[in-house]
Amino acid sequence: MVRVWKSPLVQGLALARRRYYAHARYLIPRVHDVHLHHRIFSTSSDHRPPQLHSEPNPFALEKDTWAEKHAPKWMVPYIQLSRINRPAGTYMLLWPCFWSTALAAPVGALPDPTLLALFATGSLIMRSAGCTINDMWDKDFDKQVERTNQRPLASGALTYRQAWTFLGVQLSAGLAVLLQLNPYTIGLGVTSLGFVVAYPYMKRITYWPQAMLGLTFNY
């Protein structure tokens, strides 16, 4: 018999995995066990299973941001629609722009501050515009999903007409930033809109819409 050599790291991980599954069945009660415990030790005549603790709506947790605390009430739905209060997506657009600008700078020189400012403004505007398009396209679907049914369009906090007007302002501001760059960059920026518009539709035809989202961010 040929024995396959395993490194100490692989052996340690395998041992930890076996120990985890050996103890998990004792630490995590099964649903029917909880129900049986309730039936045996309960003195009431109500034989319905106990109400299990449910996780709060993730979007409700995300509402506890600076926007809801400090922004005017009429502005809050627009901030939530554009996800300005959740900047992770903006960073995903911003950092590659900053890195490329730094790499393109002459040796020993700092990156062009004008370009950095344009990229920062453009990243904020176009990421928020992409979120607006996503919510507009998915409004009817968002109503049916617990994670998204409290978004401004799905909940009725904003109308479709208000969203279209807001999107027009966002795209106009994004175009104003884009026109400050060279023609080649303008062409790339315009063609990227096709990915932004296509992403919400990918949810209807594939289980991997994140692939299109990743392509959009990396275009």
For the chain, the structural domain boundaries read 65-181, 183-218
The residue ranking higher by pLDDT, 153 or 39, is 153
User: Smallest Cα–Cα separation from 139: which of 167, 159, 168?
Assistant: 159
- The CATH architecture to which 65-181 belongs is Orthogonal Bundle (1.10)
Residue 134 has pLDDT above 80, yes or no: yes
Residue 203 has pLDDT above 70, yes or no: yes
Residue 56 has pLDDT above 90, yes or no: no
What span, in angstroms and rounded, lies between the C-alpha atoms of 210 and 66? 28
Decide: helix, strand or coil at residue 171.
Answer: helix
Residue 34 has pLDDT above 60, yes or no: no
Rg (CA), the chain: 25
Predicted pLDDT at 68: 77
Predicted pLDDT at 212: 87
- pLDDT, the chain, mean: 79
Please report, for residues 57, 64, 126, 139, 156, the alpha-carbon distance to residue 142 in angstroms, rounded to integers and kept in the order given.
13, 20, 21, 5, 11
The two tokens of residue 164 are 């279209």
Predicted pLDDT at 7: 58
How many CB atoms are located within 10 Å of the residue 209 CB?
16
The residue ranking higher by pLDDT, 200 or 77, is 77
pTM for the complete prediction?
0.67
Average pLDDT over every residue of 170-175: 96
Average pLDDT over every residue of 21-25: 52
Rounded to the nearest angstrom, the gap between the alpha carbon of residue 151 and the centroid of all alpha carbons in its chain is 13
Average pLDDT over every residue of 175-202: 90
